[in-house]
Chains A and B, each alone.
Chain A
Amino acid sequence: MRAERIDYEFRLPDRDPGRPRGVHLSGVIRAALQACHMDPYGDTPDAASQLRMAVGLAWEDWYGPRIPNAIYHPGTLFSNRVYFSVDAIDVDNKLLHEIKTTTSAVKPPTENLYWNLQLQGYLWCLGEGEWTRARMHVLHIGRQYQLAIWDIEYSPEELKQTWKNILEPYIDLAKGE
């Protein structure tokens, strides 16, 4: 018997090449966080981060189409001068779905600043106060696997304030794709 580990370095493929050129909400959030020296991802994710991201994407592709009453990956949307790509939406009930995978412990997703800004940014862009609810599907892949699903609701006022005060000012500073 012989077993030899093959030398292989996993690299995430480039982002979806069909993404429109321009400013995306993810870039706006990162520009806002970078201004506060709080960008959690950095420019070049290491090998382990890339693998975690790949697992997250694979889970999302399996799980997303199975969310009841939701349209998975509806396409790149445009509003308030930015492009954004939500994981899934239920248009009739004005409900946003986001799917996450994390190694961190179970805790309310709103305690994650990036996720919180992402949800609020998406909701504002989806309806400028008319969309206020999100369902967060978080797969925890720590020592014990868990799927935690959270319903989150914001007031139209806090969505507006987050957009106007925190995100919108960074649209022109965000890197276009």
Chain B
Amino acid sequence: MPISLNPTTFVKGGLVSDVDVEITSARFTTYDYNGVITDPQRLVCALKLDYRVLGDDSGAVHTDYLSFGKVADFVPSDDGKTVESVSGKTPYQDTVFHLFMESLRKEGFDVSKLDSGDISVIDGMQVHIKRLPVPESWKSLNTGKGSEGPARERTYLAVTKILREGKGKAAGKPAAASAAKSEVSEELRERAYSEVLSVLSDAGKPMKIQSLQMMLIKRLNKLPADERKAVISLAGSPEFLAGRGFNVEDGMVSLPEEVPF
């Protein structure tokens, strides 16, 4: 059957950015990057985020797929509202899904609503979105094989303002008292990640966490004391290391089997 040629039914090309949108549906799904991935082991569990641009009455719905992890590790539920870990792994921080959710959190979204695992709580939210450059450490890990011409800057979808919570609640930042334990800046977290990556790459084998920290103490002795302390402390946190994709077991840490995507 021929498709409609009515111009009002056409969707926008390129990436939507720097606009106010309403999230019409957020559901997990398996994703093959539009047919690029054919190996089932490499299929991705992703959040399919549908949204419409506020003020655009054409009915056009835009979709972004935010990668969550490999389906070998994570599978969406039948209704797409939740994800299950089939390998026992904890979700990685180095995913565009995590970056997106972090941007929501930074804008004051009450992330405790996500404790149940139901992503549909963000349905109906009105937010301002923007494409932001991915963290510096991702750039060295993603070489963009196969592309010709100048490389396009890799970006991710971020929320830069919450206009309205889902289900009509007014937006607002949480009280300082309820904020998480003292925040270490994203820059220092990235520094910790890249230092750990570098030491483990040099070592070429798993290390005891305490040995890793000793190497970093020596290596970072020129760093301002507060920054060094923060980086060393992060490097000693099994939670941080596992969250960044490193393998942590019995006080040992090793490189991820694959680079993050």
By a beta-carbon cutoff of 8 Å, the part of chain A in contact with chain B is 16-21, 65, 71-81, 83, 89, 91-92, 125-127
Asked if B121 is at the interface (CB within 8 A of a chain A CB), the reply is: no
Other-chain residue from A21, A83, A89, A127 in contact with B236 (beta carbon distance below 8 A) = A83
CB 8 Å contact bits of B220-261 with A (1 = contact, 0 = none): 010001001111110111110000000000010000000000
Q: By CB atoms of chain B within 10 A, which of A16, A79, A89 has the most?
A: A79
Which A residue sits closest to B250, measured CB to CB?
Answer: A81
Known: A72-B225, A74-B229. A79 touches B208 (CB 8 A): yes
Task: Please name 5 pairs of A and B residues whose Cβ atoms are closer than 8 Å in the assembled complex, sorted by A.
Answer: A20-B236, A75-B228, A77-B210, A78-B210, A78-B251
Asked if B160 is at the interface (CB within 8 A of a chain A CB), the reply is: no
Chain B residues within 8 Å of chain A by Cβ, number: 24
By a beta-carbon cutoff of 8 Å, the part of chain B in contact with chain A is 181-182, 184, 208-210, 213-214, 217-218, 221, 225, 228-233, 235-239, 251
Tell me how far the C-beta of A76 lies from the nearest C-beta in chain B, rounded to whole angstroms: 4
Contact at B233–A75, with CB atoms within 8 Å? Answer: yes
User: Chain B contact residues: over half helix, strand or loop, or mixed?
Assistant: helix
Tell me how far the C-beta of B182 lies from the nearest C-beta in chain A, rounded to whole angstroms: 4
Contact at A18–B182, with CB atoms within 8 Å? Answer: yes
Other-chain residue from A16, A18, A74, A79 in contact with B217 (beta carbon distance below 8 A) = A74
Known: A71-B221, A79-B209. A21 touches B181 (CB 8 A): yes
A82→B208 CA distance, assembly (Å): 13
